[in-house]
Amino acid sequence: MSYNLDKFKAGLKELNIVLDQNQTEQFLNYYEMLIQWNKVMNLTGITEFDQVVEKHFLDSLCLVKSVDLTKKYRILDLGTGAGFPGIPLKIAFPDMEIVLMDSLNKRIRFLNEVIQTLGLTEISAVHGRAEEMAKKAEYRENFDICVSRAVANLSSLAEYCIPFVKKDGMFLSYKSGEADSEILQAKHAIFLLGGKIGDIVKYRIPGTDMNRSLVKIYKVKNTPKAYPRKAGTPSKNPLK
């Protein structure tokens, strides 16, 4: 099947990202797998090609606005869902080591199929809840960067994500353009978890009028062992 790649190419150019032919084909194969699997399980409500390009692929890649992705980082994509932002980041920056984590096993099956079909290396998909996985030695404070596009309150997200980040690493949260009050409300929770709010990068997804924020949180000290709290608590009762 052929696709009009004009929007994708224009967006990549705006982000200063250059893909070779193989990487472009990996994105197209990923799109086709997403649509195919979406027929039998709920992966995304966005299925039209240009919309997926803008709202999933380019939005995921906007991480370049906040961090230099030419460096080799170990990245955790928490609550990855259908693989965003982790898989677009891995395709565009193949030197990254990425772990995709999600609490739904059927999504992990999809992601493993994507990884295998696209021939991606140094990337794995792991099934588990953040509250439990963050207690395991092989994951806790083991990543340079944790990213999340998950839709949740920043206080809750911080409790899920910051425990995975090494001291001197970063948690990067994708948020809507109007996140200022949410960021302010999460400040004390972030402090309790060993984090400190850094830059907040505001941008528009290339080729659209959709405003977004990337919140950069630095890990300045180790997270106390009490966090994250037991399963479900960070969402139901966010830290104040």
The SS3 of residue 94 is: coil
DSSP class of residue 177 equals S
- Annotated binding-site members: 79, 84, 130-131, 149
Q: Mind listing the domains of the chain with CATH numbers?
A: 6-221 (3.40.50.150)
Residues in CB range of 27: below 8 A, 6 or more apart: 8, 19, 57, 88, 91
Q: pLDDT by residue for the chain (240 residues), tens digit each?
A: 789 999 999 999 999 999 999 999 999 999 999 999 999 999 999 999 999 999 999 999 999 999 999 999 999 999 999 999 999 999 999 999 999 999 999 999 999 999 999 999 999 999 999 999 999 999 999 999 999 998 789 999 999 999 999 999 999 999 988 889 999 999 999 999 999 999 999 999 999 999 999 999 999 999 999 999 999 999 999 998
DSSP result, 1-65: -----HHHHHHHHHTT----HHHHHHHHHHHHHHHHHHTTS-S-S--SHHHHIIIIIIHHHGGGG
Predicted confidence at residue 10, as pLDDT, reads: 97
Distance CA 228, CA 169 (A): 18
Distance CA 6, CA 223 (A): 45
CA dihedral 124, 171, 162, 193 (to 10 degrees): 180
The identity of residue 24, as a single letter, is T
The partner residues of 165 in beta bridges, in order of sequence, read 143
Whether 2 and 32 have beta carbons less than 8 Å apart is answered as no
Predicted confidence at residue 206, as pLDDT, reads: 95
- Annotated binding-site members for S-adenosyl-L-methionine: 79, 84, 130-131, 149
Distance CA 23, CA 29 (A): 10
Predicted confidence at residue 230, as pLDDT, reads: 95
Distances (CA, A) of 125 to 28, 100, 119, 209: 20, 5, 14, 32
Distance CA 190, CA 18 (A): 35
Pairing type for strands 143-148 and 123-127 reads unpaired
pTM: predicted TM-score of the whole model, two decimal places: 0.96
DSSP class of residue 138 equals T
